[in-house]
Structure 1
Amino acid sequence: MKYRPVFLTVIVLAAACFAAESPQGRADDNLPLEIVKQSQGPSLPRDCFTVSGTLSRGFPSKESHGAGNLSDFSGPFEIKCDYLKYSKKTEVVFSSGNVFIERDKMKLYADEAEFHRNESLLFLKGNVRMEDSTTTITCDEAEYSVEADTAVKFAASREERKKGDIILKDNVRISNSGTEVECSYADYNMAGSSGVFKNVRVHQDKMYFVGQDAEKNGDTYIFKKAYVTTCDSEKPHYKMSSPRMVFVSKESLTMDHAVFSIRGIPLFYTPYYKQRLGERKWALSFRAGSSTRKGFFILTNLRYSWSKNFRTYLINDYFKKLGYGKGVELDYKTASVKSNLYVYGINEKDTGVRNLTLRQSHWQQLPAGFLWQSYIDFQDYSAFNSNYLRDQSLVLNPTYVRSRASLSKSASAYYLRLSGYRNETWSENLNRFDADNVIAPELYFRLNPVNFKLFSYDFIYDYKNYLNKDALAGVIFPDYTNIHNASARIFKSYRLMSALTLFPRIGYQFYKQDDLKPVEYYFHNINMTLNFYRPLKLSFTHNYKREPGKSSITDSVSFSDEYRPARNVIFRQSVLYDVKKNSQPLENRFSLLENQLNVKAAGMNFYVRNYYDISQGLAVSWEEEVSGRHFSSRFTHNRAEPDFANWFQSFNFKCGKWDAAVKARMFFNYREADMKMNNVIEKEIVLKRNLHCWDMMFKYLVTRDRREGWIFFNVTAFPERPIGIYHDAVSEEWSFRKK
């Protein structure tokens, strides 16, 4: 016969209140608790038994049969378990079976628990787990001191222990704020985050600290007979060993008589070693090599952190053929301020040309929810940047100065921005900078959608004082012109039927330019979606815009459909019909028809898409792709390149212990099936290997104007700090890089 478990709840530190002498005068050492079945409404199961009481240093009076009301202890101690008994002689409460205890925001779980009332000690055994807001502990056995005492920590006798001290035994694991501690024994205090450990292994910030003994006090660990490594193997491939090691979390590591070894072979010894952890005060990155354009070169970048928020970068570059390049960067960041200044320049000794770049940006949160942003960029010409002449350009833009500033506020109801922009280029005729694109100022206001029961509305107003002499930037305004542009809309989505949805958007637009007569527009965008047949969804949208009393500017209907004949098959189409072209032949009134088919099956994805010219009766372009876990094949064709297609092919696979990725692009005549190796215009090969503690990467890239190769190594724990060699065959450059 099976019995449902009986759950007991003891409120407070234990049930000493049941220790009073029974009416029958029983004198047994172990008195089973009297279980009183409660009837407290439908929320309490029929087989749920509850015992309530409050424990104190004394016993309740004989009149208190059952629940007592004593309060020498600081707070409640709640136990839930399958079985519980109390020993009158030893004053021990024993519980077993799914034990759950809660005290002072700490939760404890175990298979068995004993509470020794006289010593205020709680013993836990079997699958022990302890949790609070920041720490999780698991082990096989634990001894927890629950009452305050004035004795020192880590006392040898139980009488000297302090509140919060915990002795943990066997398979101990402590997790706290990104730090993992594993050991065979621990004397730990959760409140003070301190303790003593044996056979300990600490994992923090991708590093492993392993020692025979360790002591923790706050953020400081002191290890004896220990080593440090980033290798997670039980027998690390490399390590730095020391008889005494001091680790200060995220700050420093200090070792006496340190020995560095690889696979157990000592390679280096130093009587004293110290290393800063986290971000160092200073760091040096460099790149050295040789190329046809620059000759031998070495590029250096020295970073110094004045504080957590402020850094400086000193840039010093040497080019044998070009000369010296120098620069500085100042960077400041807080939660409310981000500011950066970058300056770099070089005087080419072979041409005598001065090249200079300057950038300054600032972002700051102001009171009342306002935000300030500014940006200045001065550039001698487009090919010049912080990686001097790395990006070659056939056409050099003239020297320019660009600046932008804005003050904005974003709220739940609206967005407001006051801004300005100015672009100036150097004029040889004027022998000065001349503005060719200026907005001074612009005022933009947007009222976010306001929702009512039957409709919603929004509003936008944009004013700018605009000058533009650059045709590539838009409409020419040779003189400063005041432009006002405002629009208001009402809209709402209405479900007319379960398969019919109507979404109208109706609006009014106002446009005024200087003293010219203002222009007003009525416009609407009305969408209707039908889904009467579940696999098929149809959508129609009417776009309309016109000035009052005049003919329409825009009048078109767009159509789209989505058909799902099977779960993993989707077919989509879309096209636009221009009503204003009603005088033209029917086929000329349509835009390009877009068709797309997506299929997923057997772990593979397939799609094909084309753009079809209805008036011409042929496809303007098409593309198709099939891809799986280890490959991808994609073909594209454009009518502008008749008879030719692009084939993009990629593979990724494992070759022994190597991860390989191969990519290629072939441009070929598909009518003649002319697929030769000389038609491969791009190729890329990437090989990676994880050496457990190290990663190695080899990359080879060929395009129409580039032929490059890389070989890089990095410690697996720090992939952002690679060391390697780079080669560019086009510029005949070899370089060594360290970041």
Structure 2
Amino acid sequence: MKHFFLSCLTFLLISPLFGQVNVSTATGRRINYDHESGMAIITGDAVIHSSTATLKADEIQIDTKDKKGEAFGNVKIIQGTTTITGDKAIYYWRSSTGVFYGGEGFYPPWHFFGHTIVMEGRDIYHLESGGITSCDHDPPHYRIKSTRSKVVRNKRATLKNARLLLGDLPSFWSPVYTRSLVPRKYIFRLEPGQSSRDGITNRTIWGYPFTENSFTKVKWDYLQYTGNGVGLEHRYFNPRIRGNIDSYLVRDTNPDPVPDSRRFTILWDHFQKITSRLSMNARLDVKSDQSFGNEFSSAGNRIRVENSERGIFSEGGFRYQFPRATLQVQADRRDRFDSTVSSGNFISKLTLPRVTFNTIPLKWKFFPFYTSFSGNWTNETLTRSDPKQALRYQRSADLGVQIKKDFRIRKKMTVTPRAGYSQAWQDHDTAKPTSEGDIYNGRYNAGYDIRRRFGRILDVTVGQNYVARMEQNRFNDDLKADDHGVETNAVNLSFVSRIGRSSRLSMRSGYDLRSAPRNLPTKYSHTSERILSPSFDIQWQVKPRINVFFRETYSLFDSDNNKPVRTPANTSGEIQFGEYASTTFFSQGFSYTKGASGADSLLHLTNKLKFFLTSKWHLDIFLSYRAVGPNKINYKKALPIEKTIHLVRDLHCWVLRATFSDRTGIREASFHIDLKTDLKTQPKLYREDKDNPFYTYRDVIDENSDPFNSDEAKFSNEDSDIDETKDQGQ
């Protein structure tokens, strides 16, 4: 009530005069006002609010004639996002100017201070015996002091007779120091380091967002033994267009097995949504040699895909999404560089075009089974390794249909029969250069799955898959072939048990029912040769942050020695403490694959460790190595494969990062330091979609998939709940 009364009293007594100095309200514990002199004295938690600023102090004296105020003790003035404190201040409301003594100012993220701070308007400050810093620690870890300074908010700071102090230690002097205070959009980074191949290195990166939806990086690398490398990376994204261009060029003078040459790479990925249903994709991948990406790790995409040969790979196409189907038209070209056969590049393979069509499972009104169709037509050349070879085109097509239906026999039992047919066509036999006749090959498949749930945690699935091939250009089974025309005929069995949401146990195996091939009549003479490799898989959440993974596949028959065996073919596992994305994490993994008879036993081990050494030091270590021994677990030596250490030091105002890497043939070390005020997150140009932003059609269409793949049919329903099973497509 006292503050409220004094505020109202002040406003009623002096508002006619304060209107001249833009004062709207004033509060304090005691107020004295002299009408004749126009002086007002506010003491005890004095606060004056105006349209331009808020002034606080232990005592404020207001002169309405000179339109100024003098503040004493714990002075603070707030102008927008800027706050200035001091021991004493003189402030002019009308011009928003003033003088602070023993003052310190702050506007995020900068602090400035001075024996005297002269305010020249709202955004300009002159400092006497002062300086600036971005450290909010008291005392600051670093500061730049000067005799005289000028600070223009959000524009520039200029300091004369500037001295850099790290703590209280003078470290650098300059007659004049100036820096921009504009919030930085660009990044600039120097990464000095050392490499066993390149010697002393210094990687320079400058990046700038030229538009709201793009970010461009220019790279220049100094490599002591190899030469200078330059690169350009440009990423762009908007709701309909996204892509990435990455290029790098180096004149490689390194005296290694690769001769002196100009080496380069150009990578371009592009995706564009033309309409709500029609999209386009394109890709270009050019490399001077196969090993480029391994030796120049700073160039390329996040996941590098090497060409199969030295040359150019390009592709592009369109995709149209119907309500229940997808149509894809794609073309690609491979050019090859081979100085032994040609002085220039030549076409190695050309696909023009490849048309693919797929549907989702369709349900018909008078047909109870779900039906899906797939097909493709391809016009491409045979791969050639010499430009003198003719570009010989081959046309081929595939058309297939699959039907299936889930029948619930009981509450916890489901039977799923399925069948399908596919027809493949080629315009000639590629094995016969003079062949011109059409070639047709048909395949049909049939199978079923019977799934039964026992209790709430155990699912048992029994199924069979049968795939048969027809004679070429005929609709008869290919009974005269070595395999009697039967490509697959197996019964499969799986057990899946779940304990809670994050623990799971599964076992799988099967039995091959095919007859022995004509060219190997002794095959399947041992029953164990018919049993498909059993596998055992565990995913166990011991505690919320402790997980154990284990998988083992057994071999029951040694085809080299033609005898039954009982030995693990592959064993792998891992134990994890913590979450991988967190700052504290540990994992120990291993993988063992049985080698050839008489060969050394190899055990691959991996370690991942992330933790805080102290509250300021963070360590991230990855180790990969292999143990070698004569047999089983009798290992005599361990050979490193890769060692990588990331070290981060939080210096409050700076962040220091160092990386040490040692992998086969290459040893590298680098570090860089960033001022936190300069750390600006680049625009998030890519959405966190599960689908790849490029070639999204490949999540729907797998060019290498087989419509008769027994593995797909074998466990297609293992993760669904029978109690909640519904027909597909509903």
Report SS of the residue matched to 1:374.
Answer: strand
- Which residue in 1 is equivalent to 2:508? 574
8 Å Cα contact 1:357-1:377 kept in structure 2: no
Do 2:627 and 2:636's aligned partners in 1 also have CA atoms closer than 8 Å? no
Deviation of 1:406 after TM superposition, in Å, equals 1.6
Equivalent in the alignment of 2:652: 692
Cross-structure match for 2:717? none
CA–CA distance in structure 2, aligned partners of residues 318 and 679 of structure 1: 32
Question: Aligned partner of 1:359: which letter?
Answer: I
Q: 1:197-596, aligned counterparts within 5 Å?
A: 207=109, 231=135, 233=137, 236-239=140-143, 245-248=151-154, 252=155, 254=157, 261-263=165-167, 273-275=178-180, 277=182, 280=185, 283=188, 285=190, 325=228, 329=232, 331=234, 333=236, 335=238, 336=241, 338=243, 340=245, 342=247, 344=249, 346=251, 348=253, 353-357=260-264, 359=266, 361=268, 363=270, 365=272, 367-369=274-276, 370-384=278-292, 399-410=310-321, 412-427=323-338, 428-429=340-341, 431-450=343-362, 455-469=369-383, 479-514=392-427, 515-524=437-446, 526-546=448-468, 547=470, 549-550=476-477, 552-564=486-498, 570-581=504-515, 584=524, 585-596=526-537
Contact 2:505 2:537 in 1 (8 A): yes
Distance 2:195 2:356 in 1: 51
2:553 and 2:532 map into 1 onto residues whose CA distance is 10
Matches of 1:420 and 1:408 in 2, distance apart? 12
Cα shift at 1:342: 3.5
C-alpha distance in structure 1 between counterparts of 2:619 and 2:254, whole Å: 44
Residues 1:645 and 2:584 are matched in the alignment? no
Secondary structure of 2:326's aligned partner: strand
Q: Provide, for residues 154-190 of structure 1, a one-character-per-residue CA deviation record: whole Å limited to 9, x for no partner.
A: 799xxxxxxxxxxxxxxxxx9xxxx999999xxxxxx
Query: Displacement of 1:561 after TM fit?
Result: 0.8
Shift of 1:586: 3.0
2:356 alignment partner, SS class: strand
Q: 236-245 or 220-229, which moves further after superposition? A: 220-229
Task: Return the offset for 1:254.
Answer: 4.8
Alpha carbons of structure 1 residues 512 and 632: separation in structure 2 relative to 1, 3 Å: same
Structure 2 counterpart of 1:102: none
Q: Quick one: distance in 1 between partners of 2:379 and 2:507?
A: 43
1:502–1:667 CA distance, 2 compared to 1 (3 A) = same
Note if contact 2:269-2:284 (Cα within 8 Å) is conserved in structure 1.
no
Q: CA RMSD in A?
A: 5.6
Alignment partners' CA distance in 1, 2:404 and 2:307: 49
Q: Is the 8 A contact 2:193 2:670 kept in 1?
A: no
Helix, strand or coil: the match of 1:518?
strand
Q: Deviations over 1:251-300 (max 9, x none)?
A: x5556778765446776677774426455568575657686x66777665
Q: CA deviation digits over 1:396-436, x for unaligned, max 9?
A: 98642322222333454433322211112235335553433
Aligned counterparts of 2:668 and 2:246: Cα–Cα separation in 1: 32
- Residues 350-396 of structure 1 show CA distances to partners (whole Å, capped at 9, x for unaligned) of 898542435263636364344333333443322346965999xxx99
Tell me if the contact between 2:190 and 2:202 (Cα under 8 Å) persists in the aligned partners.
no
Offset from partner CA, 1:294-351 (integer Å, 9 cap, x none): 67776656667665567776666666766x6565647473523647374635375989
Query: 478-487 or 499-508, which moves further after superposition?
Result: 499-508
Question: How much does 1:694 deviate?
Answer: 3.5
Query: CA-to-partner distance for each residue in 1:496-516, whole Å, 9 max, x for gaps?
Result: 433123444443323211152
Aligned residues with identical type, % of pairs: 16
The structural deviation recorded for 1:593 is 0.8
Q: CA deviation at 1:633?
A: 3.4
CA positional deviation for 1:482: 0.8
Do the aligned partners of 1:355 and 1:384 also contact (CA within 8 Å) in 2? no
Amino acid at match of 2:457: P
C-alpha distance in 1 between matches for 2:198 and 2:550: 47
Higher relative contact order (CA 8 A, sep 6+): 2
Contact 1:282–1:305 (CA under 8 A) maintained in structure 2:
no
Q: Distance in 2 between matches of 1:247 and 1:705?
A: 52
Task: Check whether the contact 2:511–2:531 (CA below 8 A) recurs between aligned residues.
Answer: yes
Q: Which residue of 2 aligns with 1:70?
A: none
One-letter code of the match for 1:365?
Q
Q: 1:665 aligns with which of 617, 622, 625?
A: 625
Q: Using the alignment, how far apart are the partners of 1:670 and 1:618 within structure 2?
A: 16
Q: Deviations over 1:630-686 (max 9, x none)?
A: 643334322105555344455555545544455463514386966667656655555
Unaligned runs of at least 5 residues, structure 2: 1-7, 9-23, 25-48, 56-77, 86-102, 300-305, 428-436, 478-484, 517-522, 558-564, 579-584, 682-730
Give the letter for the 1:557 counterpart.
Answer: V
Tell me the TM-score normalised to structure 1 length: 0.57
Rounded to whole Å, the distance in 2 between the matches of 1:591 and 1:490 is 26
Task: Look up the SS of the partner of 2:538 in the other structure.
Answer: strand
Letter in 2 for 1:533: G
Partner SS state of residue 378, structure 2: strand
Return the alpha-carbon distance in structure 1 between the equivalents of residues 361 and 156 of structure 2.
56
Give the match for residue 693 of structure 2: none
Q: How far did residue 534 of structure 1 move?
A: 2.3
Contact 1:503 1:527 in 2 (8 A): yes
- CA change 1:664–1:332 in 2 (3 A) is closer
Does residue 623 of structure 1 match 2:578?
Answer: no
- Preserved contact between residue 361 and residue 373 of structure 1 (Cα < 8 Å): no
Write the deviation string for residues 457-489 of structure 1: whole angstroms up to 9, x where unpaired: 433221111223379xxxxx9831111112233
Closer, same or farther: CA 153–505 of 1 in aligned 2, 3 Å: farther
Equivalences for residues 7-86 of structure 1 within 5 A:
none
Paired residue total: 535
For residues 596-647 of structure 1, what are the alpha-carbon distances to aligned partners after superposition, in whole Å with 9 as ceiling and x for unaligned?
A: 2343335543343211113322211223433435643334322105555344
Question: Aligned letter for 1:536?
Answer: L
- The whole-number CA distance in structure 2 between the counterparts of 1:306 and 1:683 is 38
SS of 1:587's partner is helix
Give the gaps of 5 or more residues in structure 1: 1-89, 91-120, 122-144, 146-150, 157-173, 185-197, 472-476, 722-739
Between the aligned partners of 1:527 and 1:385, the Cα distance in structure 2 is 46
Between the aligned partners of 2:638 and 2:374, the Cα distance in structure 1 is: 56
Counterparts in 2 of 1:717-736, with a 5 A limit?
none
Cα distance change of structure 1 residues 703 and 355 upon mapping to structure 2, 3 Å threshold: closer
Q: Aligned partners of 2:215 and 2:603: how far apart in 1?
A: 51
TM-score (norm 2): 0.57
